[in-house]
Amino acid sequence: MAVTRSGGFAGLVRRAEVDSADHPTVAGLIGDVRLDDVPEPRPQPDRYVYDIEIGDHSAQVGEADLHGPLRELVDHVMTLGG
Amino acid sequence: MVQRTLTLDHEQRRTRVAAQLIAQPPPATTPVAANRTLHDAAHKETLPGRTVRAEGAPATGDQQADEVYDWLGVTFDFYNTAYGRNSIDGGGLPLVATVHYSVDYDNAFWEGSQMVYGDGDQQIFKTFTGPLDVTGHELTHGVTQYSGGLDYNGQSGALNESVSDVFGSLVKQYHLGQTADQADWLIGQGMFTDAVNGVALRSMKAPGTAYDDPALGKDPQPAQMADYVETDSDNGGVHINSGIPNHAFYLAATTLGGHAWEKAGRVWYDTLTSKKLPSGADFVTFASMTYATAGTLFGVNSTESDAVREAWATVGVKVT
Ligand SMILES: [Zn+2]
């Protein structure tokens, strides 16, 4: 899976990729995440935008909508693969 | 300004003044002043966090809170002195800010009603509270919001970003007493750690040249409409394509010379706050409105309106 973070005041792009087969914690969190249920991004000045890819599924999520297991997953992947 | 005053019917004006004298209490003697409150999120993400400094209170000793307190004051003073605007909303809105947001947070943002600052991770960014133009940029997002807004995606989003860079830079120039040729026209100078090969985040003078670093890549900003970047990330590249209108402002300001907030800044400010700017404005719409505003302020075919039209033409945007 992969996370690409864009936006923020700096406008820098950061991408992190992790193979869930190598990371049981990531695999576990993926099981808790429903990518199809994330709300449409509401653009807000200088907040981060996350493009999240899990296998064939992908979604764009605004920083303010990143909660719960999805937030945990994104933080974990950015730390591991960033 | 002058022209608008002239269009007002004098009799009508006198009547209105008389009515105000009857209907309202005597004018306040206290001058317009900032009303700042600083909070500390203590590395959590709950806003606004614990209050650490109210207006007029002594310095806290927390460098970041005290820097933001000062920069909110300078930005308030800039808008009030340069454009007669009383705070972000024009109606004396209290200025609320939170520092120490989240952990190693490489960002600052306007949340819709307050400012929020991270500490920076100390690897790439050493500070978000240090440079005055960051606070000027973020508070200007509030000014844009209260002026009717510019939709935060695509060209209108890049204009929203550019307007924040323009007035962020102007606040800094005002504070330093610089003329257009003396200014550095950089956004976020002094934010990067020594590990990063870059002078700032963006350059209005030379978009695309602010940094070139093995880890961060190269500053992706275009200066020309022909190089406009189509992308799905960052709401359609709002922090990338802002380079085009940023450079147009720089060109207009340096052509006109003097203090950039007085002429070019006034044209951009009046356009932003005209209440006629559509929230979905594209570059051509915004450019054409700045040209019309320059004509109203300084006269059609004046040096000023010519400079504005030429500046946009140079970046590949033709005013209509
Ligand atoms: Zn911004």
Nearest-10 crossing angle of helices B154-176, B234-241: 40
- Do B189 and B293 fall within a single domain? yes
Q: What is the pLDDT of residues B149-207, one digit of tens each?
A: 999 999 999 999 999 999 999 999 999 999 999 999 999 999 999 999 999 999 999 99
Per residue in A25-73, pLDDT (tens digit) is 999 999 999 888 888 888 999 999 999 999 999 999 999 999 999 999 9
Tell which of B146, B173, B197 closes a domain.
Answer: B146
Looking at the domain assignment, is residue B320 inside a domain?
Answer: no
Identify from B45, B46, B106, B242 which residue to disrupt to test chain A contact, counting A C-beta atoms within 10 A and taking the largest count. B106
Q: Do B142 and B14 share a domain, yes or no?
A: yes
Pair B136, B180 in one domain = no
Last residue of a domain, one of B146, B177, B192: B146
CA of A59 to the centre of ligand 1 (A): 23
Q: Which amino acid is at B124?
A: I
Q: Is there a contact between A46 and B107 if contact means CB atoms under 8 Å apart?
A: yes
Do B218 and B295 sit in the same domain of this protein? yes
Q: Of B146, B165, B200, which residue constitutes the final position of a domain? A: B146
Q: Is the ipTM of this complex over 0.90?
A: yes
Looking up residue B15, the CATH number of its domain turns out to be: 3.10.170.10
What is the domain-level CATH number for residue B260? 1.10.390.10
Q: Which one of B101, B109, B124 makes the best mutation probe of the A interface by having the most chain A beta carbons within 10 Å? A: B109
- The answer to whether the CB atoms of B107 and A9 lie below 8 A apart is yes
For tokens 């009547």, what's the residue? B15
Judge if B119 and B164 occupy the same domain: no
Residue B256 lies in a domain: yes
pTM for the model stands at: 0.92
pLDDT digits (tens, 9 = 90+) for B128-161: 999 999 999 999 999 999 999 999 999 999 999 9
CB contact under 8 Å between B201 and A10, yes or no, is yes
Contact between B128 and B107 under an 8 Å Cβ cutoff? The reply is yes
Beta strand spans in chain B (E):
36-40, 50-54, 95-99, 108-110, 115-117, 186-187, 202-203, 212-213, 217-218
* Site of tokens 């993400």: B45
**B120 and B167 housed in the same domain:** no
| B126 and B40 fall within a common domain | yes
Q: Which pLDDT score is estimated for B147?
A: 97
Asked if residue B179 lies in contact with residue B255, where contact means CB atoms within 8 angstroms, the answer is: no
CB-CB contact of B100 with B119 (8 Å): yes
Q: Quick check: B138 and A46 CB within 8 A?
A: yes
B130 lies in the same domain as B165: no
Residue B22, pLDDT above cutoff 90: no
Judgement on whether residues B184 and B223 belong to the same structural domain of the protein: yes
CB pairs under 8 A between A and B: 74
Nearest residue in A to B210, CA atom: A10
pLDDT at B211: 98
Tens of pLDDT, residue by residue over B212-221, are 999 999 999 9
C-alpha atoms less than 13 angstroms from C-alpha of A80 in its C-beta half-sphere = 18
Q: Which residue does chain A place closest to B152, by CA atoms?
A: A43
> Given an 8 Å threshold on Cβ–Cβ distance, is A43 in contact with B157?
yes
When divided into structural domains, chain B yields a total of 2
Nearest to B115, CA basis, from A2, A28, A58, A46: A46
Residues B124 and B199 in one domain: no
**Does residue B319 lie in a domain region?**
no
Tell the residue number behind the tokens 């920076």, with chain if given. Answer: B120
Cα of B238 vs centre of ligand 1, distance in Å, is 9
Looking at the predicted structure, is the pLDDT value of residue B20 above 70?
no
In which domain, by residue range, is B186 found? 154-314
Q: Are residues B112 and B223 in the same domain?
A: no
Residues B173 and B134 grouped into a single domain: no
Nearest to A6 among B138, B164, B233 (CB): B233
